[in-house]
Amino acid sequence: MSHYRELLEAAVSGGYRFAGFDRPPRDKDLFVRHDVDLSLEAALEMAALEHDLGIRATYFLMTESVFYNLLSPVGLRTQRQLRQWGHAVGLHAVYPRLELDGRFDPVVAWHNPDPAYMSEPVAGVVNVMEYPYFDSDHYRSDSNHHWRSGCPHEQLARGEFEWLQLLVHPEIWVFEGATMRETMLSMLEAKRELALEQLAEDRIDLS
């Protein structure tokens, strides 16, 4: 995660302020957005790093993920810990279902959205991809291990963006790998170790 740390430090030295989706963008705002698709453990690790650096981000958690369960011990711990560290927590929703309960701030990021509804306003909540929080000049995403328009860290250090929404998937930075496939295999290896421990805790005889 040293590259991610560098990215954050570049933003700090470029004079950016870490903002949440509770008010429209202003000059020098950096909206750090994390869509948590695959691993709560990775989210926690990233959140801890940000906390160390005194940085506040917004984590978008899923309630219907096939990869994790918010009601599990680690799910509850993640929500508690993110709040304790001062991060915001929004819903990473699967269109069109949107059940925002008290666990979430009134902010939504659709998971793998189609262009048809991606930027459509949603009644009563902020959609992170709607105006004024999103336009292509003020948005960078690390999707599938590559920055669509190059890594923004030099530009951040030089303060070139008026303001920016930065989408960072924790899994891509926390697990090692030069490609998405390698990174996913590292993640699966870690998940396998964890699952073995969980089986033992569940009194499964692995002898």
**Binding footprint of Zn ion, residue count (CB under 5 A):** 5
* Beta carbons of 194 and 40 less than 8 angstroms apart: no
Toward Zn ion, which CB reaches closer, 72 or 144? Answer: 144
Q: How far is the CB of 39 from Zn ion (least distance, A)?
A: 12
For the window 15-44, what string marks contact with Zn ion as x by the rule CB under 5 A? --------------------x-x-------
Toward Zn ion, which CB reaches closer, 74 or 109? Answer: 109
DSSP string, 70-117: TTSHHHHHHHHHHHHTT-EEEEEE-TT-----TTS-SEEEESS--HHH
Which 3 state secondary structure label does DSSP give 91? strand
Residue 16 CA to residue 163 CA, distance in Å, equals 8
Q: How far is the CB of 71 from Zn ion (least distance, A)?
A: 19
Could you say which residues in the range 133-172 bind Zn ion, by CB under 5 A? 151, 153
Q: How far is the CB of 199 from Zn ion (least distance, A)?
A: 28
Instruction: Please tell me what DSSP assigns to residue 122.
Output: B
Interface positions with Zn ion (CB under 5 A) = 35, 37, 111, 151, 153
